[in-house]
Chain A
Amino acid sequence: MNFSSKTLLSILILAYCAWNSRELVTAWRKAPYEHLSVLILLTWCLPLCFMWMFPSSEDPSYNTILLALALTCTLLGGIGSLNTLNYIGLALALASFTSYLNPWTPIWVVGSLSWMPAFSWLGSHTFPGFVFFIRILTAFITAFPLLIIYKRRDQS
């Protein structure tokens, strides 16, 4: 398969995962705890934004294991009607675009829980007054180190 076909496949899987995560947009609009949560998702996506703005000169190699896991989670989330699984699938699909894997990548992927409504549900029970702050902090401290790693790699 040539490069463009692989890219198309990755984008289609991402689109499938994103489509099955469309309830996230409804939650942002209607759920009180989810107002401004799009900022948390964007914060978590900082390393991806950097990679897309400053692509590596090497051919991108999408992580096929993450893509397969993304498909599995999204399929199970869809048939089980469990949005959190759909969102995990979306996070894995997005993470599959990070061609340069390093020890911090799994931590960043786990940090994706910060933008999922399940985190604010948990927060409503354990830290009700600080839900947004804890979520955006989690997204930031998991994404920022990866951003620095990419920046340093790009400069080297």
Chain B
Amino acid sequence: MIDISSRTLWIFLAIAVIFGAIWQLYPIPNASERMDKLPLQGPEFVGRDVPLTDFESSFFKDVGVVKRVYRIDGQNYFLTILDGTKNRHAVHDPYYCFRGGGWEIVKDTEFPLKNGEARLVEITQGPRKKTALYWFSDGKEHFTSTWKYWLETTLRRLTLGKSGPEPVLVVLQPLDQTTEVDWKKILESLNPVLKV
């Protein structure tokens, strides 16, 4: 049987500890520049930042978070944008979060965007019903594949940020318990969110 010498393993362990620490401490650019450009007010919308709860502050530690309510066409919409540059593990597949939170996904369709696609879901929990639109964005392309998100972000960390910008997760949902939303019109009004 092939055997690796203890000396080799000692050297490998030392390299792994030192090299791994240096690599992880190297600061890679985050998506804050894109997120900061998202305006609070525009011709067809007005928004306000919502402070994180204690649980959210703990859960999203080191995560860049935009948590806002936008008023569009007389309705309030909740916008969450998550930048996992410093803590990618807190950015989950929305499916996993919805189901983990006890919501059942009753409808799941693709929603085309100019630079890709979003996912439109309808979720229920007992008598409660909600809808949400979500996508990942790297500032140029919009996609919904969690595999692609993991691949891009892993590659980015392996290359110290050289492989491209950090994808962020964008989730938009009405504050009311409604599933009747003209998403095309909402995104036309809140157009800057598609540039994040």
Contacts and interface: CB of A to CB of B under 8 A. Distances in A.
B20 interface: yes
Nearest to A85: B154
Interface size class for chain B? Answer: 20 to 34
B4 A79 contact: no
B16 interface: yes
Contact of B96 (A6, A20, A33, A65): A33
A128 B102 CA distance: 10
Nearest to B154: A80
Contact of A68 (B12, B23, B100): B12
B158 A80 contact: yes
Contact of A23 (B59, B89, B100, B150): B89
Given A23-B89, A33-B100, A68 B16 contact: no
Interface string A15-54: 0100010010000001111000000000000000000000
B100 to A, nearest CB: 4
Contacts of B3: 64-65
Question: By CB atoms of chain B within 10 A, which of A75, A79, A82, A128 has the most?
Answer: A79
Contacts of B155: 80
A64 B4 contact: yes
Contacts of B4: 64-65, 67-68
B17 interface: yes
Contacts of B24: 78-79, 81
Interface string B109-141: 000000000000000000000000000000000
A79 B157 contact: yes
B89 A67 contact: no
Interface in B66-123: 88-89, 93, 95-96, 99-102
B6 A1 contact: yes
A13 interface: yes
A124 B23 contact: no
B168 to A, nearest CB: 15
Contact of A65 (B2, B88, B99): B2
A65 B99 CA distance: 39
A75 B24 CA distance: 10
Interface string A51-92: 000000000000011011001001110111111000000000
A125 interface: yes
A124 B6 CA distance: 42
B29 to A, nearest CB: 15
A108 B8 CA distance: 27
Interface of B: 2-10, 12-13, 16-17, 19-20, 23-24, 59, 88-89, 93, 95-96, 99-102, 150, 153-155, 157-158
21 contacts: A1-B7, A6-B6, A9-B13, A12-B13, A13-B9, A20-B20, A31-B100, A64-B6, A64-B9, A71-B16, A78-B23, A80-B155, A81-B24, A81-B88, A81-B89, A83-B89, A124-B95, A124-B96, A124-B99, A125-B95, A128-B99
